[in-house]
Amino acid sequence: MLRLAVSFVPSHAVAEEVVQDTWLAVLRGLDGFEGRSSLKSWLFRILVNRARTTGTREHRSVPVADPEPAVDPARFGASGSWADPPEHWIEAAERRVEAGKLAGRIRVWLDELPARQREVVQLRDVEEMSSEEVCAVLSISEANQRVLLHRGRSRLRQLFEDELGGVR
């Protein structure tokens, strides 16, 4: 929760306040929970609302047309085929994970994603919410959710390749 709150407000201290505030709101607002959404998504929705009220970064819709390719266009030839194909890294990642050396890096990469992408990836891939839940929690459309998820995951994939590509 704190991690999510931090992405909406300027400082850690404010985020902590938001989290506390959320719990108070939860206790006061149990009436609002109708059992339709999962407990977690309901809780997170309250959190996001509190954080957005408190935070200085305002909620804005994501310009979907804004081009942010999944892969650097320079890696494709004129025909659109791979000129600089993806380097293998899956086996190297498995070894690093087993050695307990990768989780910290992944956490840092996730934290460094643009805020909107981070929120969606955090909720979908770490908290393992459904896309419907994430849309409800963040008040975004399915299409927006998918674009943010795509960009966030694509960036993470590139970071894995940068870190581990060519390691045998």
Partner 1 sequence: MRLRLLRRDLVCQQAVELVTDYLEGTLARPARRRFEAHLAGCPHCTEYLAQMRETIRLTGRLVPEDLTPQVRDEFVELYLRWRSE
14 lies in the site for partner 1, by CB under 8 A: no
Q: Is 89 in the site for partner 1 (CB under 8 A)?
A: yes
By the 8 A CB rule, do 148 and 155 touch? no
CA distance 52 to 58: 7
Task: Spell out the residues 6+ positions from residue 139 whose beta carbon is closer than 8 angstroms to its own.
Answer: 48, 59
Among the residues of the chain, which ranges form H helices?
2-6, 12-28, 39-54, 90-98, 103-112, 115-121, 131-138, 142-164
- The smaller minimum CB distance to partner 1, of residues 58 and 110, is found at 110
Note whether 54 binds partner 1 by CB under 8 A: no
Nearer to partner 1, 58 or 117 (CB): 117
CB of 143 to partner 1, least distance (A): 9
State the residues that interact with partner 1 by CB under 8 A: 1-4, 19, 26-27, 30, 33, 39-40, 43, 69-71, 73, 76, 79-82, 85-86, 88-90, 93, 97, 102-103, 106-107, 110, 121, 125-128, 131, 146, 149-150, 153-154, 156-157, 160-161
